[in-house]
Structure 1
Amino acid sequence: MSAVFDDCLASVNKVQFSRHHPDLLAYGAADGTFRLCYVPCNTGGSKGGGAGGKKGALGVARVKHELKGHTKEVTDFDWSTDDDYLCSSSADKSVRVWDVGTGQCLRIIYTLIPQTCIIFHPQNNNFLVVANSKKELTVMNFSTGRVVSRVAMDSNVTALVADRTTAAAAATSTSSSGSSGGGSGSKTAAGTASRTAAAAAGSAAEVDSVVFVGDSEGAIHSFTVDKQSGSLQRRHRTTAGVVHPAPVASLHFSPTSVLANGPVLLACSKDGCVRFYTTALELNGYLFLKISLQLSSRATNMNAAFCPPLGPSESGEYIVTGNADHHVYFYDFMKPRSPLVARVPGHKAMVVDVSWNNTNTVLASCDCDGVVALWQRA
């Protein structure tokens, strides 16, 4: 363990690094505490850390902004695609949007019921996909505060995650199409690359992102959300791998996978069952169950996340999760008969959530005592 934030007085429900900055971390707690932290780490580049710094070495972690406003439990939060904003939902019946640079609250959307889950639309961050305790999935307009789309669900929504490959492909293609140039000998190649990139950007822009929704019965639903109108469309529902109905505790999407050689979805249920799906984004998020694991009976109410290889010579499909025995666990889906790879002590209470930074050099974990721990990867 390299660093600890231990001044929270209630259980920390969620911890998450930003999408593009390895040194920005946010966490929300059951008493309404919501904090943005700075976790300086030298990722081996030329900026900061000095020539003698080790790759991934942590500096002094500190709270950058205290995001004050919620009066009850912070149930969920999410980073915008460009990391400029944070959105949060709360049991105090409000949704808030925050400026990451200043820590100021930019928008408050008051509702009549507690809000349980929230994410930004990956292609249009003006839209927020929000679930509430009334078994509804809604899309809110960040600018106006109005609900632009609403769908009634059969069960309460307990987890949300979006496919962000479409937005990333569009951004990359647009960037590539705008960087043509060079000498006369490269004009043809540059022009071809520019046209190809523009075509890819146009193709990506035409596709609506898929939002995966986990519910209290263990089912996972696929929705598409129109990037211009915010309209929600039901696409698929699956209970593959569900033995006993249990709420989905967390959903994690990854565009790449060793085991599936493509985009995958990781679902962790509150009964300790972890399911690994391949996703057909061209079929609006249709899910194929690849493998499922039943973790120990004490691995309930935990969130799981994808994990990088634990060593330079190792290859596998790793996940990391918390446990009621105060440990952080690492598993390998490539070894379903004996998936446990490592167990790391350090916490003094049930470990609730885990998150890697985008360079996979630092792991954050949080527990029911309000402690957020930072682990430096060897």
Structure 2
Amino acid sequence: MAAVWQQVLALDAKYNAYRTPNSPQFRTLYIRRRSQLLRENAKSEHRDPVARKDYLHLRAQLLTSRYGSPAFSDQGSIRSRSFSTKSISRNTLESLDSFHINDSRKHHFRHMSSGSLKHIYEGPMKRVFDSIEVVPTKEAEASRAMAGGKSISENYAFAGMHHIFDQHTDAVTRVKFANDDKSRVACSSVDGTLSICQLIPPPATVICMLKGHMAGVVDFVWSLSNDVVLSVSLDGTARLWDVAAGSCMRVIEDGTNAELLSCLFHPLNNNMFVIGNSKSSIQLMNVSTGKGYKAGCSKVIGKVLALAFDPSGRILWSGDDKGYMFSFLVDVASGKLTKTRRISVCEGHPVTSISARSWISREARDPSLLVNCCVNALCLFKIVTDDGGLQLKRTFQIKQKDSNIKSNFCPLMSFRQGACVISGSEDMCVLFFDIAKEKKPCVNKLLGHSAAVLDVCFNCDESLLASCDAQGMVIIWKREGKQGAL
């Protein structure tokens, strides 16, 4: 059913000129992000094909009702529409340009007329999409044009500090931008509070402080709609916060009176979240009732320091302070949690962070996990089985022996050769690694903190980067060049 997602992208590209007509930069970013999401979802084998087709039909109706029928479109299904050469998105040209196909076929694609496009799209092109793996090449001219012809290190150069926050009186444990939002960022601290900050338009301000926890807040997460924040604390409680009101909606106490150390919303169902505690327990919870699912509890070996879902929400990974990771299968309908695999990262050394990504760039197409472990290493794993089995691909050197350092994949799909990840470090640096470089993979290093950098996070278009440290400072870094240039 990947062909349906190709049709969805074609539909979005057709209406793209009508979307924010005064902001062509946003339209380019929108199509790139849309392409990334569609490619990720096309890999899932557990989607209903009928629902995909229904989604395509409904989306076509909604776009038509909002923007009208574009001048170059006619009535009928997506598969039967013809396209003029002007209506082909740069993303489509870039995809054709980066196929490994013979020269005669490339020549045929690049010189076909408007009338032949319809025929190719309905027949041979679909077979090409189904049978040929997309592989990056040095000849991908459209990709290089969208990237500005710059290298990874040039695109991750920074112009300096956008703002410095110091509203917390103790270490800031996590910093996260709101989902698909480039201006709001939240922080949690050992001082027992959380803060919500607004960065754009300047000047940057602290919108509100969320107070109620009786001990340090060690983890939090935004809901999909950004209207709720879930936090967990060493006081043994999880709290749901109304962001707009700046108030606590619900307090959920751990049934075993243990410290809560990690939390995560389900990526597709924000009425479900998972928490991990200091007594080696993982529990799926229901937001509406505030209670745990009966079959949604499992035990691991050590304290649960890190949690991560795959993008579909079907697989959950946990990391503990004994150096182990566990994978679980999640049944969203029943809330059942089934343990499947145990992976030893480095026995006796805490696993402090896990991030999952199904596709980083066209050079890093494997579903991957990014893992911090207290052995001075950032580990990149390939997901090799449907039940969460992992294979170590490579490690990157960082300074981490004692602190709960976090790392992240850069959010945008890369339109050049290479793919980047970022991590904090105990040497007070923010580190950037190109996972495609075998030698000297560290492509940039940001200096400015005076304590161990505990967490790092990009906003949705990678125009701003937030980092926090063990002394309570939060730095917002501004990238050089145009926003969303990647």
1:153 pairs, out of 284, 295, 300, with 300
Residue 237 of structure 1 is matched in structure 2 by 342
Q: Assess if the C-alpha contact under 8 Å between 1:272 and 1:300 holds in 2.
A: no
Once residues 372 and 146 of structure 1 are traced to their aligned partners in structure 2, the CA distance between those partners, rounded to angstroms, is: 34
Q: Cα deviation per residue 1:192-220 (whole Å; 9 max; x = unaligned)?
A: xxxxxxxxxxxxxxxx6211111112222
Please, what TM-score do these two structures have when normalized by structure 2?
A: 0.61
Once residues 143 and 300 of structure 1 are traced to their aligned partners in structure 2, the CA distance between those partners, rounded to angstroms, is: 34
1:18 pairs, out of 168, 173, 178, with 178
Cα distance, 1:334 vs structure 2? 2.0
1:276 pairs, out of 361, 376, 380, with 380
| Partner SS for 2:211 | coil
Q: What does residue range 312-331 of structure 1 map to in structure 2 within 5 Å? A: 315-331=417-433
Cα distance, 1:349 vs structure 2? 1.7
Residue 194 of structure 2 is matched in structure 1 by 34
1:254 aligned onto 2:357: yes
Residue 214 of structure 1 is matched in structure 2 by 319
Distance 1:344 1:223, change over 3 A: same
Once residues 446 and 310 of structure 2 are traced to their aligned partners in structure 1, the CA distance between those partners, rounded to angstroms, is: 31
The two structures, once aligned, show a CA RMSD in angstroms of: 2.3
Q: Assess if the C-alpha contact under 8 Å between 1:350 and 1:368 holds in 2.
A: yes
1:226 aligned onto 2:331: yes
Residue 354 of structure 1 is matched in structure 2 by 456
Cα distance, 1:102 vs structure 2? 2.1
Residue 397 of structure 2 is matched in structure 1 by 294
Residue 335 of structure 1 is matched in structure 2 by 437
Q: Assess if the C-alpha contact under 8 Å between 1:218 and 1:245 holds in 2.
A: yes
The 4+ residue runs of structure 1 with deviation greater than 6 A are none
Distance 1:158 1:61, change over 3 A: same
Please, what TM-score do these two structures have when normalized by structure 1?
A: 0.77
Distance 1:123 1:350, change over 3 A: same
- The percentage of counterpart residues that share the same residue type is 34
Distance 1:118 1:308, change over 3 A: closer
Q: Assess if the C-alpha contact under 8 Å between 1:75 and 1:91 holds in 2.
A: yes
Structure 1 residue identity aligned to 2:417: S
Cα distance, 1:260 vs structure 2? 3.0
Once residues 85 and 6 of structure 1 are traced to their aligned partners in structure 2, the CA distance between those partners, rounded to angstroms, is: 23
Cα distance, 1:308 vs structure 2? 6.5
Distance 1:38 1:280, change over 3 A: farther
| Partner SS for 2:432 | strand
Q: Assess if the C-alpha contact under 8 Å between 2:421 and 2:432 holds in 1.
A: yes
Residue 89 of structure 2 is matched in structure 1 by none
Once residues 287 and 259 of structure 2 are traced to their aligned partners in structure 1, the CA distance between those partners, rounded to angstroms, is: 18
- Which runs of 5 or more structure 1 residues have no equivalent in the other structure? 42-58, 167-207
Between 1 and 2, higher relative CO (CA 8 Å, sep ≥ 6) is seen in 1
- Which runs of 5 or more structure 2 residues have no equivalent in the other structure? 1-160, 481-486
1:127 pairs, out of 251, 272, 275, with 272
Distance 1:308 1:234, change over 3 A: closer
Q: When you count strand as a share of all residues, which structure comes out higher? A: 1
Once residues 370 and 175 of structure 2 are traced to their aligned partners in structure 1, the CA distance between those partners, rounded to angstroms, is: 17
Q: When you count helix as a share of all residues, which structure comes out higher? A: 2
Once residues 143 and 327 of structure 1 are traced to their aligned partners in structure 2, the CA distance between those partners, rounded to angstroms, is: 41
Distance 1:364 1:284, change over 3 A: same
Distance 1:6 1:356, change over 3 A: same
Structure 2 residue identity aligned to 1:93: G
Distance 1:244 1:151, change over 3 A: closer
| Partner SS for 2:365 | coil
Q: Assess if the C-alpha contact under 8 Å between 2:358 and 2:365 holds in 1.
A: no
Cα distance, 1:288 vs structure 2? 2.5
Once residues 295 and 121 of structure 1 are traced to their aligned partners in structure 2, the CA distance between those partners, rounded to angstroms, is: 30
| Partner SS for 2:279 | coil
